[in-house]
A and B are shown apart, each in its own frame.
Chain A
Amino acid sequence: MIAIRERRPATRPGLVRVSAIGFGLLAGLAWGQVLAGGDSGAGDLFRGDTWTRAGEFAGELLGLGAEGESAFVDGALWQNAIGLSVETLAMSVLAAGIAGAAALVSFLPAARNVAYGELGGSRRAVGVPGYMVLRLLFAFTRGVPELVWALIIVFVFSPGVLAGALALAVHNYGILGKLAAEVVENMDTRPARALRGAGANNFQMVLYGVLPQALPHLLTYLLYRWEVIIRTTVVVGFVAAGGLGREFRLQMSYLHYDEVALLLICYLALVIGVDLVSAGLRRLAR
């Protein structure tokens, strides 16, 4: 008995087309409002003195024309900067660790197939509300940017490495949790269900049938997030007063642009370093 599926007559425009038009409209509105307002700054870009000012600024970054010594030759400044870089690195590792651990303990009940009992076994009433609460928690923690979390956390914790790490961890927890739960949802569950036939209970089924596949993915996602975290650590440190970020703020307030450039170089080195290490570790994980 072969049923031929009829193409539904296209009475409603496809979602894709509507979305494209909708987005185009949004873009038009957005740019319209930007350019129509006289103070958009768009004109400023092309003014001559803007470029002179920008040029002067670049010069100050490089330490030219400053009174006294350029920051680049000051050994003590470099030492300080390197120490702060280590602190920043520690903040990023701590943040990734906390986020990863928290996601590890909560991603399973947040997977639809686990929570709804589709993996076989009893459909426990606890599963569904737990699933919803967790998904909402993920959405909320990842919707709010790290910087905002940092601003809030400094009301509770003293500014420093821990405050910064916590702010980063909260935000990334939502991201990792969602990604990990989706891995479980997209997984082929037949091997896990076959374990049931071998006599496994729910826990054993998850332990042998779900985790071996999910954990490597979680690890890879964590390492990818680390690359993002190290970039944001500097920014969070600005607010939460830790690591390079704190020093950035200080030097910017003194208008010591060449020291800022020094810190920027350390920042770039950190970012590139973490990218390389993360790539290497990811290869180990696969």
Chain B
Amino acid sequence: MTHLADTPIIRVENAAKAYSGRLAIAPLSFTVAEGEKVAVLGPSGSGKTTLLHLTAGIIHPDSGTVELGGHATSELGAGGESASLVGAIHQQYDLVGHLSVVHNVLAGRLGRWGLLRSLWSLLSPQDLGLAEDALERVGLLERLYERTSRLSGGEQQRVAIARLLVQDPRVIVADEPVASLDPARARDLLILLSSVASDAGKTLVASLHSTELATEFFDRAIGLRDGLVVFDLPVMELDRGILDDLYHLEVAG
């Protein structure tokens, strides 16, 4: 897996996105180097989710470009190529509750499986070793054959991470991954997510509410407000003043 050290894995250039006439993301640009861990901070409605979806290629910019590994997201179709570049995890609802854990985890291989193999795997799980390894890594191996809906919220997030392990993308995009979890479990999940990324040199871009978690687990923080980048700093340089500017409530006119 060779890559040019000076080519950023993510390049966003003047990307903008509007919804029903309202600008969610004003034209903004930034780059992310491979292996970086970036936290996206900002108040509700600042456009964090839109930005993350643009980064993951789930949506495409109205103007400007978003490049992953040198390819524009609008040119990457769905399927194996895009899946090996980027994988996403959300706050909830990533997993199919009716399926058992093993199938949800193995879904990470769907980009590489043909239709027949995908079908057969539902009866007899293919690449089972991959699923076992991934679940062991997240500490849920004993739940392999349980129905996913029976697991708690935190456990389901870990299964989602296991799926990402199987999918093995170069970039992980996480949209509020811990927003539904209590503080203790949120920390545990970020420890896991962060180490999973570090172990394999993956890039991690995540949106968070908590600045403490951002400082602890990430290298860099981007502050977003009303679709504009307010700051883009190493987490060490974040201070009270900068954060207050980001989050302060504006009195509605």
Residues of chain B within 8 A of A203, CB atoms compared: 115, 118
Given A190-B93, A208-B99, CB of A198 within 8 Å of CB of B118: no
With an 8 Å Cβ cutoff, the count of chain B residues facing the other chain is 33
With an 8 Å Cβ cutoff, the count of chain A residues facing the other chain is 24
A207 contacts partner chain B, Cβ-Cβ < 8 Å: yes
Residues of chain B within 8 A of A209, CB atoms compared: 96
From 93 to 122 in chain B, residues with beta carbon under 8 angstroms from any chain A beta carbon are 93-99, 103, 107-108, 110-113, 115, 118-119, 122
The total of Cβ contacts below 8 Å across the A-B interface reads: 81
Which among A190, A194, A209, A213 has the greatest number of chain B C-beta atoms within 10 A? Answer: A194
A195 contacts partner chain B, Cβ-Cβ < 8 Å: yes
From 188 to 219 in chain A, residues with beta carbon under 8 angstroms from any chain B beta carbon are 188, 190-192, 194-201, 203-204, 207-209, 212-213, 216
Residues of chain B within 8 A of A1, CB atoms compared: 252
Contact A200 B93 (CB under 8 A): no
Q: Roughly how many angstroms separate A195 CA and B108 CA in the complex, as a whole number?
A: 8
Which residue of chain A has the shortest Cβ distance to B166 in the bound complex?
Answer: A198
B83 contacts partner chain A, Cβ-Cβ < 8 Å: yes
Contact of A192 among B96, B112, B115 (CB under 8 A): B96
Report the minimal beta-carbon distance from B237 to chain A, rounded to whole angstroms.
Answer: 32
Contact B115 A198 (CB under 8 A): no
Contact B96 A199 (CB under 8 A): no
B27 contacts partner chain A, Cβ-Cβ < 8 Å: no
B90 contacts partner chain A, Cβ-Cβ < 8 Å: yes
Which residue of chain B has the shortest Cβ distance to A200 in the bound complex?
Answer: B110
Given A204-B118, A212-B99, A216-B98, CB of A199 within 8 Å of CB of B93: no
Report the minimal beta-carbon distance from A185 to chain B, rounded to whole angstroms.
Answer: 17
Contact B167 A199 (CB under 8 A): yes
Report the minimal beta-carbon distance from A215 to chain B, rounded to whole angstroms.
Answer: 9
Residues of chain B within 8 A of A199, CB atoms compared: 78-80, 82-84, 108, 110-112, 167
Residues of chain B within 8 A of A212, CB atoms compared: 96, 98-99
Residues of chain A within 8 A of B108, CB atoms compared: 198-199
In the A-B complex, the 10 residue pairs with the smallest Cβ-Cβ separation, listed nearest first, are A199-B111, A199-B83, A212-B98, A190-B93, A200-B110, A194-B94, A191-B96, A197-B88, A204-B110, A204-B118
